[in-house]
Amino acid sequence: MYNSTFLLILPALILSLYAQYKISSAYRKYSAVRNKKGYTGADVARQLLLSSGINDVSVEPIHGRLTDHYDPRTKVLRLSEGVFNSPSLAAIGIAAHETGHAIQHNIGYGPLGLRNGLVPLANIGSRMAVPLIIIGLFMASGSGSFGMMLVDLGIILYTVAVAFTLITLPVEFNASGRAIALLSEYHFLTPDEITPAKKVLNAAALTYIAAALSAVLTLLRFILIASGRRD
């Protein structure tokens, strides 16, 4: 049962590898292309925030590669070292995308609020689900019902984590859409620079799609394994 159900998640593993290749390739390529107006990622983030009427979000550098994120709790937009001071097309696209999340938070974008609300449960689910399922399956071979109760609890917790990954998709797609629209509207990038920025963001979006597919197929695998044990 374990071997046959493993085949179920192979498509997600293949897509994940492809998505990582695409984002690494696009980021590497367009990190070497400077935007014509010389804006840095930090410049774009700050100006887009002001243009959107947001005055209470700070923009700060953070260590690491592709560690960019917006923290709604502290209202801090953190840009990685390769984005904050970089005038590359990749940096501009990523900075605008993260600014899109700050704008979502400012206007009360529904899916973002739902995703943020799921964070505590999703964290518990991602940490506890698999250990509970493994322990439960081990115990089910002996004591039976209590072990399967643990498996069921693990599946419920993992379902919450899956829901989080699915809700993340519209949040990320919307942020990227806002980013491209804003970069064009405020003329941070010329028309011929918009396409490369889109390629970087589309490659990043593919990683979220791969994560969601992997989560859904893994959940299905757990359900099939549990069903097989009951049979």
Which sequence positions are flagged as catalytic? Answer: 98
Instruction: Give the CA distances from residue 5 to residues 1, 139, 167, in Å, rounded to whole numbers and listed in that order.
Output: 6, 20, 25
Q: Count the helices and strands in the chain (H runs, E runs).
A: 8, 3
Residue in the structure block whose two tokens are 């859904």: 216
Residues 208/39, Cβ–Cβ less than 8 Å: no
Cα separation, 98 vs 119, in Å, equals 18
Q: How far apart are CA 159 and CA 153, in angstroms?
A: 10
- Quote the CA–CA distance of 100 and 201 in Å, as a whole number: 12
